Amino acid sequence: MRKIVFTISFLSLFLSSFGQMSLIKISGAKGSDTGLSYFLPKTMLIVEVEATKTTIKAGQYAKYAEKFLGIKDAPTEDMNLFSMDNITLETCGEVDKNEGYMLQYKSSNIPYMYLTQEGVICSVNMEPDESYNTVCTPELPAPKIIQPFSTNQNALLSEEYLMSGSSLKMAEVAAKQIYRIRESRQDILMGDAENMPKDGEALKFMLSQLDEKEKALMAMFTGNIQKEKIYYLYKVDIADAPDSQILFRFSKYMGAVDKNNLSGEPVYLDLKVTDKKELEEPNAKEKKKAEEPGIMYNVPGKAVATIRVGRKNIVSQEFLFTQLGVKSALPVILFENKKTTTRVLMDPQTGGIRQLLQ
């Protein structure tokens, strides 16, 4: 076993696609100077933040909202407001360019490997199944509008409104229209309307129409509002992370901002190591065995990742991390036996062994 920076000619090279994943299968020829080259992964922590962005366009009659509708503090200028709704944690495997290896062999029983496009080892002498996810570039969901701006309010107003000569009079007429809609809704609910709907579906439709009209007219006073879901993504290498750090800040008016931007409230990432693997000093026999060629793999450790705001924990979860583990090797002799075929399925997130079959 040698750790190297490598280039290599392959006897065969082709692609195999599983959904969003693309793998490379490699095999080599017998010879003392040939082998199969691969990388081990390191485990990255992925923090996805879901937020709501509220865009407010000030109503044209905002200054009359209290006078005619009893609504105080209606916004008088356009603004954006942000709220943090949810945070999720996950891990993924990313190629570790400092952990490149070559498997050398002399037997005619030639093994083969599946690698990711980046060269991370996925399996030996077996094909990963379709659920095998090796992607470490998660895509953020696209922003999604969950509440659109109201329709053109002027189209809902009466001739009296259109003939009004001042903004004060227009506001008064619009407010009266709102009260009439509310009275119509109340009459329908009480069964006092002249033209009652014939069935439940008709009732539901009529009420929804009244609700939409009231919402559109209210926007003239309280502001026209659109809400959309937006997302932020942070990738953390825990090898460089302290026990506690400010991951980002969240501003009511700007959303997620850099950790050095003091306009937002700090959001912390805390890491608590729960299982750190340590290398044991090998005896002479084990040391000699370790020097023999083999397939390197990781034995990951564990840590609990916690996201908090102030003293309030938002989410806390334990994960396996390569950076907290040690490395070991499967002896190459396992793959030179002509009577049996040793098959290995690796974990692309940690580089650990998921299955070892013979």
- Cβ atoms of 245 and 268 within 8 Å: the answer is yes
pLDDT at residue number 195: 77
How many Cβ atoms from other residues are within 10 Å of residue 44's Cβ? 21
216, amino acid identity: A
The residues, any chain, with a CB within 8 Å of residue 340's CB and separated by 6 or more, are: 358
Work out the average pLDDT over 63-73: 94
Cα dihedral: 67, 68, 71, 75 (round 10): -80
Which range, of 2-6, 61-65, 191-195, 295-299, averages the lowest pLDDT?
2-6
Calculate Rg over the CA atoms of the chain: 32
pLDDT digits (tens, 9 = 90+) for 197-210: 778 888 889 899 89
State how far the Cα of 315 lies from the Cα of 242, in Å rounded to an integer.
18
pLDDT digits (tens, 9 = 90+) for 13-51: 333 332 334 566 666 544 445 677 899 999 999 999 999
pLDDT digits (tens, 9 = 90+) for 123-145: 888 888 765 655 566 778 899 99
Work out the average pLDDT over 99-124: 81
User: Tokens at residue 78, please?
Assistant: 């356009």
pLDDT value at 289 more than 60 = no
State the chain's maximal CA–CA distance in angstroms.
100
State how far the Cα of 27 lies from the Cα of 18, in Å rounded to an integer.
20
pLDDT > 90: percent of the chain: 46
- pLDDT band at residue 71, thresholds of 50, 70 and 90? very high
Residue with more model confidence, 291 or 54: 54
Residue for token digits 């997130």?
349
State how far the Cα of 193 lies from the Cα of 214, in Å rounded to an integer.
18
User: Which residue stretches of the chain are H helix?
Assistant: 65-69, 159-162, 167-190, 200-222, 284-290
Round the average pLDDT of the chain to a whole number and report it: 83
Q: Three-state DSSP class for 232? A: strand
State how far the Cα of 347 lies from the Cα of 288, in Å rounded to an integer.
27
Q: Three-state DSSP class for 63? A: helix
Helix and strand numbers (H, E) in the chain are: 5, 16
Name the DSSP letter for residue 45. E
Q: Which residues partner with 306 through β-bridges?
A: 270, 316
Name the DSSP letter for residue 120. B
pLDDT digits (tens, 9 = 90+) for 211-223: 988 988 999 999 9
Name the DSSP letter for residue 264. S
**Model confidence pTM above 0.95:** no
Handedness of CA 134, 135, 138, 139 (dihedral sign): negative
Q: Residue 349: phi, psi to the nearest 5?
A: -85, -35
Q: Which residues partner with 307 through β-bridges?
A: 269, 315
pLDDT at residue number 7: 29
State how far the Cα of 183 lies from the Cα of 188, in Å rounded to an integer.
9
Structural domain spans, the chain: 2-43+90-140+274-357, 56-75+146-224
User: Tokens at residue 274, please?
Assistant: 């729960």
pLDDT value at 172 more than 80 = yes
- Cβ atoms of 124 and 295 within 8 Å: the answer is yes
State how far the Cα of 180 lies from the Cα of 157, in Å rounded to an integer.
12
Work out the average pLDDT over 297-322: 96
